[in-house]
Structure formats: structure tokens, C-alpha cells
């Protein structure tokens, strides 16, 4: 099959805008809303995120296998993608509109139920959509390019949701100098997120519809296990050494990224002493990564191969991402004007995003290579199953990330509904340590995992030659 056209790549990529909307809404706004605005404890908010993630652990591979085996005139992937689009928008609106006056446990239940609903509807679209990408592009470097479009729109969704959220829905007012503490703004923000995510999904379904006749057909042996117990089959994918290493790398990296994202508003407000209007500008630093990440990922992979390019991305990204906390400990941030401090942090965040986004592009490209290896050994193309495992690991960026962030905030006894002027310097210092040096050490440690990845460009070419010879 010829390489996908620009129109098809754009149509495919735009679907991931919905995942960016969810990531930003959950990691940046939802935890802060339930914890700091509604008063739910950090541990309970984190527990709700973790339990919702456990549901994902079951539904992601289930949807993946159901789409792998689906036989319809609409293909394997598109029926599921279409089914999740409109309910996703409805669920996210409900999540950000809890009734007034709920108790702690009732609030916990509303957050848990809403988070599960949003995740389930996103799974119906997200897992088949990821699998679709592995079918649209099949060559070693072409996949990195196509995945670049998908990741571009993921972070575009994060950017649009964050910037519009901070600037339009949570501006400072006379009653709320910190607009993030205004509870009445969150239901409108939920409606915005729901409309944006649903529209992106529908555009992707419509734009990739014509590719259906050219996509892979299900290969059934007649002895398949039940798709309703497909979460057990995830353990089968982990028997493949190359995928097992990638799964571990994705899980650890995304969990750490989830902690950082959950703490973003806390660090920007209490450590860097920014106002909500600065947060909108700071969130837009991801635009730097969106523009340059794909170029950097492709250049590094061609020069060093994908495995070493992956290590370069995570270490370099970490050095830039957490350098502002080092300046804070040295007292240098106090010597800067707000404008200079904002410009510095915007710049280093933007550079770090180039390498972190590049890291995810490379991981997904490597995962598609693992699926080829699986096809060689099993005779089946089970993109849905493998990308369900990847989807679970990625979604851990909110589930496990928010859980550990919530535990960390309770451990350092960070106050709820806190005014920046009243938070103790000791609490701010503990927050800076947790979000800076500790996070960098953990990010750098992912190199120990990814360095064990065994596949090279030469090995992938051998795999493709053997598959073609057999077919």
C-alpha cells in the first residue's frame, strides 16, 4: 500500500486532539478542581484516578481485541471510533458538573464514576485509532513520520485546552484573584472540552473513512479466546522481550509525566509565583515541542537508531524541564523580574517539550516495529491488543501519576484552598524538591529500561523480508 497522503495523515492525526483534551482536562484541571476548589482530599482524589485506571486495565485490551476481530463493512476500527465520539463529550461535561454540597465520599464517588465514563468512551475511540496508524504506514521511518502527526495533535489538544482554560474560563476577578479557585467556571470548561474532543473524533472518522477498503482484514484461527477476558491476553504480549521493555518504559515515563502534569498548577502558582494569566502563556510553551519534536525524533533516530535516540530525548528533556527548580534553590528566581522569570521558564519548558514529545513519537514507532515481529512469529496482526497495552500504560500518566502526586501532597502536608501568600516557605520548598530533583532522577532512570531494547533498523528489515517471503 502506498504511503498515506497528507490529507489522510492530517485526518488520522486530528483524532488524537481528543486525547490531548482529556490529558489536559484531567491532569491539569480536574485534580486541582476536586482537591483545591471542592475540598476533596489529595489521597481520595488520587485514589479515584487510580481506580478509574484499573477499569482501563480491563477495557483497553477488551476493545483492542474486539476491534482486531471485528468483521464489518465499516472495517475493524471505525465502528468503535464512531461509537465513542459523542458519549465522550457527554461524559466529560458531567464530570465537571458535580451537584453542590456533596460529602467527601459522595464527591469521591462522582469523580470516580465520571472519570471511568470518560475513560471508557475515550477507549472506544483511542485504542482502535492507535491500531489504525500501524496499518496506514508500514515502513520503518514512515511510521515515525505518521506518528509525528498523531503526537502533534495530541499536544495541540493539550495546548488549546490549557491556554483557553486559563485565559478564557479562569481569568482573575475581584472576588477570585486566582481564577482557578472559581468553582462556577468549571462546568462551562467541561462543555468546551466535550465539544472539542467529540468534534475531533468525528473529523478523524470521516477523514479516514475512504481508507477502509485498503486496511488489514481480521485473521481468525477459530480458537480465539474470549475478547471479554482480553485483559488476560495483555500478559501474552509481555512474553515478547522487545515489547515487554517498551511497555515498562512507557508505563514509567508516563507515570512520571502524570505526576509532573498534576503538579503543574501547584508549582507555577506556589514556587514560581505566577498568576493565572501567566499559566496560560506557560502552557503554550508546548507549541515549541509540537513544532520541532517530530523533526528532532526523526533526525536522532536516523543518526543513532531509535533506542539511543530515546535515551537522548529523556535525559535532555529532563535537564531542561527541571532546571528552574535548581534556580529556585539557589535563590536566582527571586532576583528576576516576573517577565524575565516567565521568559526563562517558558524557554526551558519549550525545549524540554521538544525532547519529551520526541520520546513518545519514538516509543510509538518502536511499538509498531514490535507488532511486525509479533506477526512474524504468530502469523497474526494484532495491533489492537498491543496498542491496548500501550494505551493502558499511557493512561497511567493520569491514574498512577495523580495517585502518587496526591500522596506526595499529603505527605508534605500541602494545604488545601491555599492562598500563595499564606503557604509556608517550608511547604513550598518541599513542593520544589518533590517536583524538581526527585522527578529528574526518576526520569533519567528510565534509561536503564530502554537501553535493553533489542531491535535495530537492520533487524526490522530482516523481519519485513521474512514476512514478505512467507506471504
436, 325 contact by CB (below 8 A): yes
pLDDT at residue 424 is higher than 70 = yes
How many CA atoms lie less than 13 Å away from 192 in the CB half-sphere?
19
Intra-chain end-to-end CA distance of the chain, in Å = 15
List the single range of 241-255, 381-395, 403-417 with lowest mean pLDDT.
381-395
Cβ-based burial of 400 (10 A; exposed 0-12, middle 13-18, buried ≥19): buried
- Select the more confidently predicted residue: 464 or 380: 464
CA distance 424 to 365: 45
pLDDT at residue 220 is higher than 60 = no
pLDDT at residue 113 is higher than 90 = yes
pLDDT of residue 222: 55
Residue for grid cell 485490551: 61
Residue 159: partners with Cβ closer than 8 Å, 6 or more residues away: 20, 283, 284, 286, 287, 290
337 grid coordinates: 523580574
Residue (of 282, 358, 398) closest to 25 by Cα position:
398
Residue (of 268, 175, 216) closest to 68 by Cα position:
216
pLDDT at residue 97 is higher than 70 = yes
**H/E segment holding residue 247:** helix 241-262
Q: What average pLDDT does range 21-34 have in this prediction?
A: 88
Residue for grid cell 535548581: 326
pLDDT of residue 68: 77
Could you tell me the pLDDT band of residue 115, with boundaries at 50, 70 and 90? very high
Residue (of 310, 33, 287, 53) closest to 183 by Cα position:
33
396 grid coordinates: 497511567
Could you tell me the pLDDT band of residue 428, with boundaries at 50, 70 and 90? confident
Q: What average pLDDT does range 187-198 have in this prediction?
A: 96
Cβ-based burial of 186 (10 A; exposed 0-12, middle 13-18, buried ≥19): buried
pLDDT of residue 221: 55
pTM: 0.68
What separation in angstroms does the CA of 394 have from each of 247, 351, 406?
A: 9, 22, 19
What separation in angstroms does the CA of 205 have from each of 11, 80, 243, 316, 381?
A: 8, 10, 28, 36, 22
CA distance 465 to 375: 12
Residue (of 137, 123, 126, 130) closest to 215 by Cα position:
137
pLDDT of residue 1: 44
Helix axes 6-14, 104-136, angle to 10 degrees: 160
Q: What average pLDDT does range 269-282 have in this prediction?
A: 81
pLDDT at residue 449 is higher than 60 = yes
User: Hey, which bits of 382-467 come out as E strands?
Assistant: none
Render pLDDT for 277-322 as a digit per residue (tens, 0 to 9): 787 788 788 888 888 888 898 889 888 888 889 999 989 998 898 8
Q: What average pLDDT does range 19-42 have in this prediction?
A: 88
Helix (H, G, I), strand (E, B) or coil at 239: coil
What separation in angstroms does the CA of 199 have from each of 15, 21, 159?
A: 9, 11, 16
CA distance 130 to 82: 14
Ranges of each domain in the chain: 14-211+233-470
Q: What percent of the chain has pLDDT over 90?
A: 22
List the single range of 64-73, 106-115, 438-447, 448-457 with lowest mean pLDDT.
64-73
Q: What average pLDDT does range 333-342 have in this prediction?
A: 89
Render pLDDT for 142-166 as a digit per residue (tens, 0 to 9): 666 777 788 889 888 988 998 899 8
242 grid coordinates: 522487545
Query: If you compute the radius of gyration of the chain from its CA atoms, what whole number of angstroms results?
Result: 22
**3-class SS shares of the chain: helix, strand, coil, % to 5:** 80, 0, 20
Helix axes 140-164, 276-283, angle to 10 degrees: 170
What separation in angstroms does the CA of 435 have from each of 137, 290, 322, 464?
A: 38, 23, 8, 43
CA distance 205 to 386: 21
What is the rounded average pLDDT for all residues in the chain? 83
Residue for grid cell 536503564: 448
Render pLDDT for 39-54 as a digit per residue (tens, 0 to 9): 888 888 888 888 887 7
pLDDT at residue 458 is higher than 90 = no
pLDDT of residue 188: 96
State which of 45-59, 186-200, 296-310, 361-375 shows the largest mean pLDDT: 186-200
pLDDT of residue 396: 65
Tell me the Ramachandran region of residue 384: left when phi exceeds 0, alpha when psi lies from -120 to 50, beta otherwise.
alpha
Residue (of 434, 443, 437) closest to 318 by Cα position:
443
294, 354 contact by CB (below 8 A): no
Could you tell me the pLDDT band of residue 33, with boundaries at 50, 70 and 90? very high
pLDDT of residue 109: 95
What is 14-211+233-470's CATH topology? Growth Hormone; Chain: A; (1.20.1250)
Amino acid at each position: 500500500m502506498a504511503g498515506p497522503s497528507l490529507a489522510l495523515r492530517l485526518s488520522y492525526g486530528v483524532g488524537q486532539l481528543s486525547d490531548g483534551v482529556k490529558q489536559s482536562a484531567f491532569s491539569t484541571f480536574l485534580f486541582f478542581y476536586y482537591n483545591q476548589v471542592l475540598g476533596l482530599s489529595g489521597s481520595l482524589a488520587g485514589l479515584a484516578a487510580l481506580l478509574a485506571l484499573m477499569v482501563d486495565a480491563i477495557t483497553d485490551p477488551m476493545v483492542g481485541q474486539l476491534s482486531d476481530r471485528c468483521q464489518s463493512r465499516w472495517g475493524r476500527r471505525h465502528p468503535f471510533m464512531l461509537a465513542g465520539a459523542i458519549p465522550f463529550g457527554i461524559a466529560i461535561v458531567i464530570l465537571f458538573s458535580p451537584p453542590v454540597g456533596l460529602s467527601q465520599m459522595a464527591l469521591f464517588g462522582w469523580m470516580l464514576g465520571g472519570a471511568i465514563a470518560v475513560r471508557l468512551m475515550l477507549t472506544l475511540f483511542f485504542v482502535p485509532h492507535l491500531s489504525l496508524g500501524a496499518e496506514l504506514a508500514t515502513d520503518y521511518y514512515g511510521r515515525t513520520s505518521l506518528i509525528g502527526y498523531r503526537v502533534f495533535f495530541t499536544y495541540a489538544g493539550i495546548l488549546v485546552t490549557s491556554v483557553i482554560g486559563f485565559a478564557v474560563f479562569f481569568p482573575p476577578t475581584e472576588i477570585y484573584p486566582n481564577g482557578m479557585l472559581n468553582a462556577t467556571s468549571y462546568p462551562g470548561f467541561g462543555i468546551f472540552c466535550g465539544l472539542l474532543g467529540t468534534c475531533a473524533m468525528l473529523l478523524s472518522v470521516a477523514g479516514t473513512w475512504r481508507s477502509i477498503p485498503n486496511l488489514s482484514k481480521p485473521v481468525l484461527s477459530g480458537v480465539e479466546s474470549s475478547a471479554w477476558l482480553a485483559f488476560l491476553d495483555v500478559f501474552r504480549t509481555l512474553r515478547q522481550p522487545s515489547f515487554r521493555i517498551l511497555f515498562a518504559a512507557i508505563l514509567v515515563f508516563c507515570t512520571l509525566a502524570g505526576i509532573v502534569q498534576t503538579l503543574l498548577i501547584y508549582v507555577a502558582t506556589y514556587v514560581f509565583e505566577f498568576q493565572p494569566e501567566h499559566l496560560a502563556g506557560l502552557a503554550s510553551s508546548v507549541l515549541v515541542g509540537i513544532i520541532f519534536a517530530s523533526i528532532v525524533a526523526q533526525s536522532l533516530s536516523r543518526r543513532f537508531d531509535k533506542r539511543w535516540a530515546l535515551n537522548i530525548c529523556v535525559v535532555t528533556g529532563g535537564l531542561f524541564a527541571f532546571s528552574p527548580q535548581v534556580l529556585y534553590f539557589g535563590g536566582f528566581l527571586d532576583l528576576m523580574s516576573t517577565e524575565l522569570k516567565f521568559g526563562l521558564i517558558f524557554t526551558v519548558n519549550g525545549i524540554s517539550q521538544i525532547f519529551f514529545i520526541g520520546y513518545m513519537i519514538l516509543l510509538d514507532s518502536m511499538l509498531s516495529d514490535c507488532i511486525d515481529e509479533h506477526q512474524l512469529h504468530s502469523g497474526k496482526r494484532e495491533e489492537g491488543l498491543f496498542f491496548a497495552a500501550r494505551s493502558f500504560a499511557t493512561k497511567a500518566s493520569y491514574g498512577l501519576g495523580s495517585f502518587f502526586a496526591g500522596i506526595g501532597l499529603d505527605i508534605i502536608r500541602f494545604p488545601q484552598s491555599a492562598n500563595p501568600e499564606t503557604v509556608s516557605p517550608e511547604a513550598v520548598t518541599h513542593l520544589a524538591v518533590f517536583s524538581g530533583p526527585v522527578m529528574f532522577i526518576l526520569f533519567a532512570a528510565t534509561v536503564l529500561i530502554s537501553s535493553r531494547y533489542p531491535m535495530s533498523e537492520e533487524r526490522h528489515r530482516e523481519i519485513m523480508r521474512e514476512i514478505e517471503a512467507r506471504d
